[in-house]
Structure 1
């Protein structure tokens, strides 16, 4: 039996293997593909508009799923990259499921885009870039990293297994000890360069089924981003319990919700 290929793209700062517990709840008839880390390949650097990152994902889908269209499943940064890829290459996708993408839209979007073009330092305050640069990024051991990160606002609501996945796959060994798998400078650069033209272009959904899943406590939901996306782009959304990191807070339920969308 031919399996359904789900191509996954991760959130900024959270490498794909960190989602292993979430992946484990997918049924056997689903085959997951992904790039372990988007943004570290020198052939596809982080640049304004994310064009090279989108190109990296397109090239990888062509390589890993050459014979069938995939279900694109992205979280946050990864969701937006897949959405952008679908406009360029709709033939690669049969469906898109976007988990809480950072979709800059609404009354403040034109100002945000202008600040980006001007290279304003305010972008670091309007996005998580400033917080990323302040993050501690070096530890003597994984045990120390666990103790210092577990209570962090980003990780506090993680399922314990998902947090263990982050400690295992989101960190790496180096000469000094342990550091972030995705350097905080790269993470900040991705936040700073988030595409902000959505308020003016293309103002229509890609030519394939698209559904957005957001969360009750997500800042994006509270700011009305999914609502604006539905109004302007006609993309429907559903709301689940939890925060922006809901796939890692409730991995079993999140996997169930995603698979329900795939089979609907």
Structure 2
């Protein structure tokens, strides 16, 4: 079995949404993951996401005997970087998928908007409040999202995984509801961290790589300067929007593999984490 790659999902998308991406990586890595951030009452959603980082760190520190690779999409990329900053001895490197670091004047503006309660409408939080949550059956879920422009660009296999694995039965006939609770998704959007740029301004004791979507609205909003300073030459672009891992899962897997190969040459750190309890692979969760 190869190295462990612990993957963290984007806000609103339980980890099984990425099954096709994982299948392309499983020959090289043992894939592990947290199913849904923010749904365990021990790790509530608060400003700056410290408890969500705790949730990821619990999986890393309690589950793995050796340092692991971290990768994450959007929310998951931020959490991966923040967890690695708190426990660098347990991490080999981080791959961030369209998780641009907010820094400088943009961070100051966002921090002020959060304080004044003006950050909702510019973000996806505004649409999240009225997101549909119930359907007659899994096929109705697929048809609903397939009709939306942003989802219509998804790989069909990924969209079917989302329709089936990101929803669950309600107990009434074949009716299904979203597994990622709408209010939790909303609170995550409203509590974005604004001080991460300062924390990584002088670099990190582990390598970081970044994959950006060529049409990512989030990337345009946040800018790429702080991220580019952090990752240097370990920056790649993939055709697509912010959800390019869902649009191009196989290309995304190829980019992750290539970037991790580059990061393997990063100077080794001294020391190893203490032993902990083993955890189940993704397929056993």
Q: Which of the five TM-score ranges fits, normalised by the shorter chain?
A: over 0.9
Q: What is the CA-CA distance between 1:200 and the residue it aligns to?
A: 4.2
Q: What is the CA-CA distance between 1:63 and the residue it aligns to?
A: 2.7
2:86 aligned residue? 88
Partners in 2 of 1:151 and 1:70 — Cα distance?
A: 39
Partners in 2 of 1:222 and 1:128 — Cα distance?
A: 14
Q: Work out whether residues 71 and 93 of structure 1, in 8 Å CA contact, stay in contact via their aligned partners in 2.
A: yes
1:130 aligned residue? 126
Q: What is the CA-CA distance between 1:230 and the residue it aligns to?
A: 2.0
Report the secondary structure of 2:69's partner residue. strand
Q: What is the CA-CA distance between 1:166 and the residue it aligns to?
A: 0.2
2:158 aligned residue? 162
Q: Work out whether residues 10 and 76 of structure 2, in 8 Å CA contact, stay in contact via their aligned partners in 1.
A: yes
Residues paired across the two proteins, number: 259
Q: Work out whether residues 138 and 176 of structure 2, in 8 Å CA contact, stay in contact via their aligned partners in 1.
A: yes
Q: What is the CA-CA distance between 1:77 and the residue it aligns to?
A: 0.3
Report which stretch shifted further, 47-56 or 140-149.
Answer: 140-149
Report the secondary structure of 2:149's partner residue. coil
Q: What is the CA-CA distance between 1:11 and the residue it aligns to?
A: 0.3
Q: Work out whether residues 214 and 226 of structure 1, in 8 Å CA contact, stay in contact via their aligned partners in 2.
A: no
Q: Work out whether residues 212 and 226 of structure 1, in 8 Å CA contact, stay in contact via their aligned partners in 2.
A: no
Runs of 4+ aligned structure 1 residues displaced above 4 Å come to: 199-202
- Please list every run of 5 or more consecutive structure 2 residues that lacks an aligned counterpart in the other structure: 263-285
Distance 1:251 1:107, change over 3 A: same
Distance 1:204 1:213, change over 3 A: same
Q: What is the CA-CA distance between 1:240 and the residue it aligns to?
A: 1.5
Q: Work out whether residues 18 and 169 of structure 1, in 8 Å CA contact, stay in contact via their aligned partners in 2.
A: yes
Distance 1:16 1:230, change over 3 A: same
1:78 aligned residue? 76
Q: TM-score, normalised by structure 2?
A: 0.86
Distance 1:94 1:199, change over 3 A: closer
Partners in 2 of 1:100 and 1:136 — Cα distance?
A: 25
Q: What is the CA-CA distance between 1:169 and the residue it aligns to?
A: 0.9
Report the secondary structure of 1:126's partner residue. coil
2:48 aligned residue? 49
- Please list every run of 5 or more consecutive structure 1 residues that lacks an aligned counterpart in the other structure: none
Q: Work out whether residues 103 and 196 of structure 2, in 8 Å CA contact, stay in contact via their aligned partners in 1.
A: yes
